[in-house]
């Protein structure tokens, strides 16, 4: 397809997303998760030449869909509910986030990144901080934060680097997810941690009905929050503060007015559907050939980051007497976001981790932008 075949490309994006949801319902698909399926599907479609690596259809997704994903997810993030329902998994998530920050700082300190992102106006020192912030954000809250930090740091201006980094991020995330899903079967490792109660089940609550009204209100509130955030950012901080302000306003609204969850029923699920379109769009830009030329350094960066992340998580988690399912659910939420953590928990039979998986994943959407931006600014 040519890049100007807008509806054709968008049809492919949505078809890949729909196929990922369908395949996620199979036994193997439940282990891989829909997020990984749509990412790998889009990478394959782009690298065999069926769809282009760059097209206005992707820009539409990045410009108009990505900003509203954050409020659609965070409208469910009543901080009081998170503390009440997911305190242990939240503790595990905080440990996982600390491991990510330590890992990315170590990786950027020991690796020479001077030949990356050469087509930007970022200085050499700022470039290290920008790359550190980018990978800290994506491995604390997933790819939604990746897009936000790419824009905030200016790394998106170097298409070659950003597509290579995207490919590395997506491929290593998929491999990591498969790896941690296999860890509970390692008997000697499982013996190091408290036994996870098998009798617990996911808490049930009255779920508001999803209606045309609730979906319309969810979109209306999400888009309005984006408009207000852009206006505040323009007055106070400039475009770089857009996502931090948007995150803050949405968290404040969700916590101070918890009734908004009922008014916007289905908004989170709508966000998941749109996030699959985003995953497909960003993965389509993953040029494997470009990644191969930068593979050693990017592979080393992500390898160091994920090794430290998992090492810190398992070591500190054991000291805190957290169970392996709690730790791995938190790690999944940090690396890939709220869409995959509950899916893995359900597939593994950790039913009490389904709701906490969603909640800490939502917290990751909030913290990832803050922490990634802080790493970039303080480097």
Looking at the domain assignment, is residue 40 inside a domain? Answer: no
* Closest CA relative to residue 345, chosen from 322, 327, 329, 331: 329
- Residue 123, domain extent: 63-186+208-378
pLDDT averaged over the chain?
83
Query: Which pLDDT does position 280 carry in this prediction?
Result: 86
**4: Cβ–Cβ under 8 A, 6 or more apart, which residues?**
55, 56
Q: How far is CA 248 from the centre of its chain?
A: 18
Half-sphere exposure of 193 (CA within 13 A, CB side): 24
Q: Quote the number of domains for the chain.
A: 1
8 A C-beta contact, residue 74 and residue 338: no
Query: Which pLDDT does position 121 carry in this prediction?
Result: 60
Phi-psi region of 206 (alpha: psi -120 to 50; beta: other; left: phi over 0): beta
8 A C-beta contact, residue 97 and residue 308: no
Q: What does the alpha-carbon distance between residue 204 and residue 202 come to, in Å, rounded to a whole number?
A: 6
Q: The tokens of 131 are what?
A: 């790359």
Looking at the domain assignment, is residue 76 inside a domain? Answer: yes
pTM of the model: 0.69
Q: What is the pLDDT of residues 236-260, one digit of tens each?
A: 866 656 777 887 888 889 889 988 9
Query: Which pLDDT does position 8 carry in this prediction?
Result: 96
Q: What does the alpha-carbon distance between residue 123 and residue 30 come to, in Å, rounded to a whole number?
A: 43
Distances (CA, A) of 107 to 110, 176, 306, 307: 6, 17, 10, 10
Looking at the domain assignment, is residue 315 inside a domain? Answer: yes
Q: What is the pLDDT of residues 353-362, one digit of tens each?
A: 877 887 788 7
Looking at the domain assignment, is residue 30 inside a domain? Answer: no
* Closest CA relative to residue 276, chosen from 4, 20, 91, 70: 20
Provide the 3-class DSSP secondary structure of residue 192. Answer: coil
Looking at the domain assignment, is residue 192 inside a domain? Answer: no
Looking at the predicted structure, is the pLDDT value of residue 217 above 90? yes
At what angle are helices 242-256 and 212-236 packed, to 10 degrees?
Answer: 130
Query: Which pLDDT does position 244 carry in this prediction?
Result: 72
Q: What is the pLDDT of residues 166-213, one digit of tens each?
A: 777 877 877 787 788 778 878 888 889 988 776 444 444 567 889 999
Q: The tokens of 91 are what?
A: 């503790």
Q: What does the alpha-carbon distance between residue 305 and residue 52 come to, in Å, rounded to a whole number?
A: 30
**178: Cβ–Cβ under 8 A, 6 or more apart, which residues?**
31, 32
Q: What does the alpha-carbon distance between residue 217 and residue 3 come to, in Å, rounded to a whole number?
A: 33
Looking at the domain assignment, is residue 92 inside a domain? Answer: yes
Q: The tokens of 159 are what?
A: 């298409």
Looking at the domain assignment, is residue 216 inside a domain? Answer: yes
Looking at the domain assignment, is residue 31 inside a domain? Answer: no
């Amino acid at each position: 397809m040519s890049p100007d075949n807008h509806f054709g490309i968008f049809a492919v994006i949505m078809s890949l997303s729909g196929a990922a949801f369908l395949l996620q319902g199979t036994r193997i698909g439940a282990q891989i998760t829909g997020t990984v399926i749509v990412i790998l599907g889009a990478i394959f479609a782009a690298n065999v030449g069926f769809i282009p690596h760059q097209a206005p259809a992707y820009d539409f997704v990045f410009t108009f869909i990505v900003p509203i994903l954050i409020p659609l997810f965070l409208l469910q993030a009543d901080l009081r509910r998170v503390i009440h329902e997911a305190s242990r998994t939240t503790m595990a998530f905080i440990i996982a986030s600390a491991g990510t920050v330590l890992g990315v700082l170590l990786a950027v300190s020991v690796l020479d990144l001077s030949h990356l992102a050469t087509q930007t106006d970022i200085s050499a020192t700022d470039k290290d901080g920008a790359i550190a912030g980018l990978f800290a954000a994506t491995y604390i809250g997933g790819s939604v934060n990746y897009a936000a930090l790419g824009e905030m740091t200016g790394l998106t201006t170097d298409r070659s680097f950003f597509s290579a980094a995207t490919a590395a991020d997506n491929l290593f995330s998929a491999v990591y997810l498969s790896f941690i899903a296999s860890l509970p079967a390692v008997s000697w490792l499982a013996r190091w941690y408290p036994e996870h109660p098998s009798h617990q089940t996911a808490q049930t609550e009255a779920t508001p009905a999803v209606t045309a009204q609730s979906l319309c209100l969810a979109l209306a509130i999400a888009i309005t929050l984006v408009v207000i955030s852009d206006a505040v950012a323009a007055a106070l901080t400039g475009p770089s503060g857009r996502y931090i302000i948007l995150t803050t306003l949405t968290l404040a609204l969700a916590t101070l007015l918890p009734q908004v969850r009922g008014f916007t029923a289905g908004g989170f699920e709508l966000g998941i559907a749109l996030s699959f379109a985003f995953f497909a769009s960003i993965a389509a830009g993953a040029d494997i050939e470009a990644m191969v030329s930068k593979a050693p350094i990017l592979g080393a960066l992500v390898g160091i980051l994920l090794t430290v992340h998992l090492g810190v998580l398992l070591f500190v988690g054991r000291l805190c007497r957290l169970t392996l399912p709690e730790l791995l659910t938190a790690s999944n939420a940090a690396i890939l976001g709220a869409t995959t953590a509950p899916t893995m928990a359900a597939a593994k039979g950790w039913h009490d981790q389904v709701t906490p998986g969603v909640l800490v994943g939502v917290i990751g959407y909030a913290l990832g932008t803050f922490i990634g931006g802080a790493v970039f600014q303080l480097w």
